[in-house]
Amino acid sequence: MATKKSGGMSLWESVDNEPKAEAPREPADPEMAVDLKKVYSQMKSTYADVKSEVSRVVVGQNDVLEQVLVAIFTDSHALLEGFPGLGKTLLIRTVSSIMDLKFRRIQCTPDLMPSDVTGTYIVEEDSAGKKRFRFEEGPVFTNILLADEINRSTPKSQSSLLEAMQERQVTIGGTTHKLDRPFFVLATQNPLEMEGTYPLPEAQVDRFLLKIMVGYPSPAEENKIVEMYSSEFVPRVNKILKREHVLAIQDLTKKMPIAADVREYALRIVEATRPTNPKNAIANKFLDYGASPRASIGLVLASKARALINGRNYVSSDDIKAMAHPVLRHRIILNFESERKGMSADDVINQILKAV
């Protein structure tokens, strides 16, 4: 929940010309709140614990879990895509449950209004009978926001998330409300039933650090899923990550060192997606648009988080390779040639990884 308590506000207070930015409510320095060294030294075991807890509810999907955690630990947002029934929502709910964080969910539908996301002013009568406007916070005032089936909401409602995702703040009626840290949006969408959906605009898709593809489980995993959920089993998970821990891990992610060679490798991969450069043969052949510098930042950051959760103290080129697909797949736009050949964004990225 946002720490901003806008409280009662008279109507004219709310129509000031200049938006009033509230004092940032940054948490105490995470290094002060928790012992960073301890968090760092336990990182590998923490990740193992998280996996263990999540596996009580979600069977398999280790890569998806790793990528969701990467998004969380880089203080970013993730978009999960997969067919219905693969456990996208369940996974996000479970991850939220093991973290001692506030969690809210929006079930996106075409009639979802922006105010349903951000909140709105409501008229309230005080004890003296005087009517005042009070800001009623929307579900966006939380730590983890699950926007389920985000492509079913209208572009207007989707856009209401833009400021929150990028700036970590919401401006309503001239007043800017800071969101609490950490704040991340984990959205889901499915590639089926495109009728009645509103594909996310490029600008909004770009705000998601990762686009995570959720695939089918293996036969053995599915057998276990059926066994678990066709019995009296009631999945329960323990909270193992406090808010301070999450903030400390986010801080550690930024501290993760990376060699210039490895960073340049990441940049070369992103550069290779841009058809504007005539030397990029694959991009020129298969892509209309390439990834932006935000993708470069995201790729390096995601690789750092991956290195951290795997208990390493440096970023390797394997991290870059592993994160290239989720970081780039929603940031490149295929051209007619690749669609004619039935190539996906992942196929093009594979070719780029081979070439670079």
- Contacts with other proteins by CB under 8 A lie at 36-37, 40, 252, 255-262, 308, 313-317
Q: Are 167 and 206 in contact (CB under 8 A)?
A: no
Retrieve residue 112's tokens.
Answer: 């979802």
Give the residue with the Cβ less far from other proteins, 172 or 248.
248
Closest distance of CB 304 from other proteins, Å: 10
Give the residue with the Cβ less far from other proteins, 38 or 341.
38
Residue with tokens 């998806």: 64
What is the total residue count of the chain?
356
Give the residue with the Cβ less far from other proteins, 208 or 265.
265
Give the residue with the Cβ less far from other proteins, 131 or 255.
255
Give the residue with the Cβ less far from other proteins, 155 or 257.
257
Closest distance of CB 314 from other proteins, Å: 4
Closest distance of CB 248 from other proteins, Å: 11
Give the residue with the Cβ less far from other proteins, 40 or 141.
40
Closest distance of CB 253 from other proteins, Å: 10
DSSP state letters, 177-211:
EEPPSS-EEEEEE-SS--TT--PPPHHHHTT-SEE
DSSP state letters, 289-311:
E---HHHHHHHHHHHHHHHHHTT
Give the residue with the Cβ less far from other proteins, 239 or 255.
255
Retrieve residue 302's tokens.
Answer: 């995601």
Q: Residue 268: is it exposed, middle or buried by C-beta count within 10 angstroms (0-12/13-18/19+)? A: middle
Give the residue with the Cβ less far from other proteins, 150 or 247.
247
Closest distance of CB 308 from other proteins, Å: 8
Closest distance of CB 251 from other proteins, Å: 10
CA atoms of 336 and 231, how far apart (whole Å):
49
| Three-state SS at 11 | coil
Closest distance of CB 40 from other proteins, Å: 5
Residue with tokens 């040639």: 337
Give the residue with the Cβ less far from other proteins, 73 or 121.
73
Which of the 8 DSSP states describes residue 168? Answer: S
Q: Show contacts of 291-298: CB within 8 Å, 24+ apart.
A: 291/327, 291/328, 291/331, 291/332, 292/206, 292/331, 294/206, 294/331, 295/270, 295/327, 295/328, 295/331, 296/266, 296/267, 296/270, 298/74, 298/76, 298/209, 298/210, 298/327
Closest distance of CB 65 from other proteins, Å: 23
Q: Residue 354: is it exposed, middle or buried by C-beta count within 10 angstroms (0-12/13-18/19+)? A: exposed
Closest distance of CB 37 from other proteins, Å: 5
Residue type at 72 in one-letter notation: I
Number of H helices, E strands in the chain: 16, 13
| Three-state SS at 41 | helix
